[in-house]
Structure 1
Amino acid sequence: MDTGVSARTGRLRARRVARGSVVEGAARAGLSARGVIYLLVGALALQVAFGDTGEQADRDGALAELARQPFGAVLLWALGVGLVGMALWRLSEAVFGSVGQDGRSARKRLGAAVRFVFYVVVAFSVLSFAASQDGGGGSSDQRSRDATAGALEVPAGQWLVGAAGIAVIVTGGWIAVRAVLRKYHDELRLGRMSRRTRRLVDVTGVVGGAARGLVFAVAGVFAVRAAVDYEPERAKGLDDTLRTFADTPLGPWLLACVAAGLVLFGVFSFAMARWRRV
């Protein structure tokens, strides 16, 4: 009897360890894939800021740039698989809870579920690109305008688009505030970092997170304007949103600063892949 119970306990423990190892690997692969995308988008936005406007500064532009590199097809598939890992990690958090004192709370699980859906969409788009080597659905700007136009046609469409825009603005503000307050410290294994490494991670986390939040918020503002004016053309994807920064009185320098922030967020994602508690 005791031997049987011990055997079952051992098997359960082994399964937990195996599942934990799989989830941890998926999470770190996903965070690394996110880092690659932000590095490429930021680099493309820097090119736009300094006069090279030949490429889209969005996910499709980043994927096209990656495809042109040696072994580009392999890199694209690896990126897509990494993002599938990110989605699976978020799904596991929604089902089983995440690390931390309130990791099993309904709020945390709901947030994980939303991220799961988001990364499923992103992973699908990357894998579709890898399979066809073609953006297929046009630029992020055109997709945003098409989606906005479709949403405006449904009953209460203006309210729906406006609410979605406000949600994106709030999300952007939340991302930026959390970054400035260094809330990501709760998710990192700080004890494994040297003091110098921690300072470098803070630079990338604060500046990169603030830049990412700003881009989200500005995109949300354009969605709200599209709803208020009933003009789908006012909605902007990532490429047009970034180019808008160059149209401010600060000119291309503001875009360059935001682009550099996105590059730093890419570096921060790699730091998260290395030191995040999963």
Structure 2
Amino acid sequence: MQNVMGRKAAGHPWFHRLSRGGLVARGVLYLLVGWLAVRIGLGDGGGKEADRGGALQTVADNPGGSFVLWLLAAGFVGLALWQFSEARYGRPLPDGDSAFNRLTSLARGVVYLAGFAATVAFLLGHGGTSSDQQSKTYTARAMAEPGGRWLVLAVGAGFVVWGVVSLVNAARRAFLDELKTGQMNDEVRRRIVVPLGVAGNAARGLVGGAVGVFLAYSAITFDAGQAKGLDGTLREFAGTPAGRWGLVAVAVGLLLFGLYSFCEARWRKVEAVPDTRA
């Protein structure tokens, strides 16, 4: 009975609207982070960090900011519930009910739930710590526990694998499998959705993989100070041979992923997998 009721709730149109609203919230967050990173790359960071905290502070500094932040928090709840429903009932993809796909959705749900918690904490005045400091603090705490060093290494490796998979899927345009491409006209798909999806997912994978590299390195060297959050990772791109333009290029990619998220809000398959059991 609970399974039937849960599947019915996951298939309700309002649940789908909540999921799509969450994708809009994700897009807004990436646009803000990308814009802050562009400004840092151009030498005008405005004192804000290119991470979730900096993005939330940017919203809070504007009229009606608190209201918008509550909307973003609600959006992350929608994302978390949607991913947990996919973990429970499967994703609307070929082989979407496999253990791998379910675990992937579960992991995403946990990340989005953490995003909700971080947004609420910021609203309640407890979100002043930067992503870099948080990463160093949590890494140090983990490595102080028995086996914690290996846990940090595993998490770092997981980020690296996720980043590589994201890059490969961007190149293969595998993200189109998650979209209702039949509802797009050919011009929109070729000129808007595909370019945004390729560039945005590639930049997201590149940044996520880099975060994983720093985490893994901190575990290998047993030095929590080597771990970096989103802001610190992005700034490292300015230290590459491409200089600040390397950071700007990655930042623009995050901006494009924010725009791609709006495409997902319109065309993403968010319906639960039908129950085919007799």
Normalised by the length of structure 2, the TM-score is 0.90
- Structure 2 counterparts to residues 78-227 of structure 1, below 5 A: 78-132=71-125, 134-136=126-128, 138-199=129-190, 200-227=192-219
Q: In structure 1, the residue corresponding to 2:124 is in which secondary structure?
A: helix
AA in 1 matched with 2:154: A
AA in 2 matched with 1:237: G
Aligned length: 264
Match of 2:54 in 1: 61
Question: Deviation of residue 77 (structure 1)?
Answer: 0.2
Question: Deviation of residue 42 (structure 1)?
Answer: 0.2
Change (3 A) 1:155 1:34: same
For the pair 1:21 / 2:18, whether they are aligned, the reply is: no
Unaligned runs of 5+ in 1: 1-11
Match of 1:3 in 2: none
Mapped contact 2:159–2:208 kept (Cα < 8 A): yes
2-side partners of 1:105 and 1:20: how far apart?
23
Mapped contact 1:41–1:58 kept (Cα < 8 A): yes
Q: In structure 2, the residue corresponding to 1:116 is in which secondary structure?
A: helix
1-side partners of 2:207 and 2:269: how far apart?
27
Q: In structure 2, the residue corresponding to 1:35 is in which secondary structure?
A: helix
* Of 212-221 and 102-111, the range deviating more from structure 2: 102-111
Q: In structure 1, the residue corresponding to 2:154 is in which secondary structure?
A: helix
1-side partners of 2:223 and 2:93: how far apart?
44
Question: Deviation of residue 176 (structure 1)?
Answer: 1.5
Mapped contact 2:10–2:82 kept (Cα < 8 A): no
Given the alignment, which residue of 6, 25, 30 partners 1:33? 25
Question: Deviation of residue 17 (structure 1)?
Answer: 8.1
Q: Deviations over 1:133-191 (max 9, x none)?
A: x524x100000000111111112332222222111111111112112211111111112
Normalised by the length of structure 1, the TM-score is 0.90
Q: In structure 2, the residue corresponding to 1:69 is in which secondary structure?
A: coil
Mapped contact 1:165–1:221 kept (Cα < 8 A): yes
Q: In structure 2, the residue corresponding to 1:155 is in which secondary structure?
A: coil
2-side partners of 1:93 and 1:161: how far apart?
27
For the pair 1:243 / 2:232, whether they are aligned, the reply is: no
Question: Deviation of residue 18 (structure 1)?
Answer: 8.3
Runs of 4+ in 1 over 6 A off after TM superposition: none
Mapped contact 2:21–2:265 kept (Cα < 8 A): yes
Mapped contact 2:10–2:85 kept (Cα < 8 A): no
Change (3 A) 1:270 1:104: same
AA in 2 matched with 1:152: M
What's the Cα RMSD here? Answer: 1.7
For the pair 1:277 / 2:277, whether they are aligned, the reply is: no
Q: In structure 1, the residue corresponding to 2:86 is in which secondary structure?
A: helix
Q: In structure 2, the residue corresponding to 1:92 is in which secondary structure?
A: helix
Q: In structure 2, the residue corresponding to 1:174 is in which secondary structure?
A: helix
1-side partners of 2:148 and 2:11: how far apart?
43
Larger radius of gyration: 1
Q: Deviations over 1:47-85 (max 9, x none)?
A: 000001311000000000011122111100000001100
Mapped contact 2:36–2:55 kept (Cα < 8 A): yes
Change (3 A) 1:189 1:233: same
